[in-house]
Amino acid sequence: MKDKIQETPLTETALLILLAMYKPNHGYGVMQFVEEKTKGRVVFGPGTLYGAINNLEKKKWITLHAVIEGERKKEYVITDLGKEQVKSELLRMQEVYMIGMEITKLGE
Amino acid sequence: MIKKFRIFLNPIEGQEKWLNEKAAEGLRLLKVGRFFYEFEQCKNNQYQYAVDYIGNNSNAQRKKYESFLEEVGINYFEKPLNIGQFSFGKVKYRPYANKGGKLATSWGMINRELLILEKECNGKPFNIYSNAEDKIQALKERRKPHIYLFILFLLMGGYFTFAKRYMLDAAYMNSQSNSFSNSAVLSILLGVMGIITIVRMVQLSLSIKTLKEIGNIQE
């Protein structure tokens, strides 16, 4: 498997899921986290969330943490590799943000 | 309980629209058959619906997806879609499916090509796929059986042209009028099915193109 940091920008979907999984979280929890944090701007469709969780697990950016008995809910948690990915993405976003502020002079 | 009969030319968007219209009138889906829908009364706009195509999946993939839907509190109904499948007894062969989904068995993927998803209405549209990339991928999955059917029709057309040219004499000797009407009916039937397939294939391709253009700018 690829253990290197991915250079291309992450999708908003992937980044938000990774952030929601800094604490162990299941699918429904991720949906609630994202809706709450973005104040309803981002609402994940079930197909999108399902596909993204599978892909992130395949890339080993998240890993299965526990299966809650009874409810059959799968909890995932972010891996060290996933955290590295988030950090590099935030730095990239900061760079773009700084360029944007400099050009548009929004901060002044 | 209210029972309704309905066939859709467009089983995804058409069915989705119809179910949401019913939900707006205060009808909640109870049971789905091949052509029949059973509803019960509920509040107007209490539920909303979306239709997903899962016909290219393997049985294990379907079960995994369904248990995920349960996890996030979405109800689902399995519904058959009859499109370009060969039946050999209880096993269907789908050459266009993804790995593991090519052979469908009656206790697995047969008659479970569509999933109707139901959730409580929150006033926002119910999208199964919420970014451009996933929407494109879903349309591509739907296009696969159409491409396969198109190729099949081309091959069949070629076969009949060939057969006509070389077996014409034999056919005329047997029963001239009968064999002509049979082949005419068959040609018309194949023609109509072929045209529907091509139209759907082009529609799906155009939708994919539009989404790709949007997807280059926004997620």
pLDDT tens digit string along A45-104? 999 999 999 999 999 999 999 998 777 789 999 999 999 999 999 999 999 999 999 999
B26, pLDDT greater than 60: yes
Please give the domain boundaries of chain A with CATH numbers for all domains: 12-104 (1.10.10.10)
pTM value is 0.83
- CB A13 to CB B52 under 8 A? no
The predicted structure's pLDDT at residue B105: 53
pLDDT tens digit string along B137-194? 999 999 988 888 888 888 887 777 777 666 555 555 555 555 556 677 777 877 888 8
How close is the nearest chain A Cα to the Cα of B115, in Å? Answer: 11
CB B93 within 8 A of CB B86: yes
- CB A73 to CB B71 under 8 A? yes
List, as one string, the DSSP characters of A37-54: HTTTS----HHHHHHHHH
pLDDT tens digit string along A31-56? 999 999 999 999 999 999 999 999 99
Of residues B15 and B101, more confidently modeled: B15
Of residues B101 and B17, more confidently modeled: B17
Report chain B residues whose CB lies below 8 A from the CB of A13.
Answer: 130-131, 219
Q: What phi, psi does B172 have (nearest 5°)? A: -65, -35
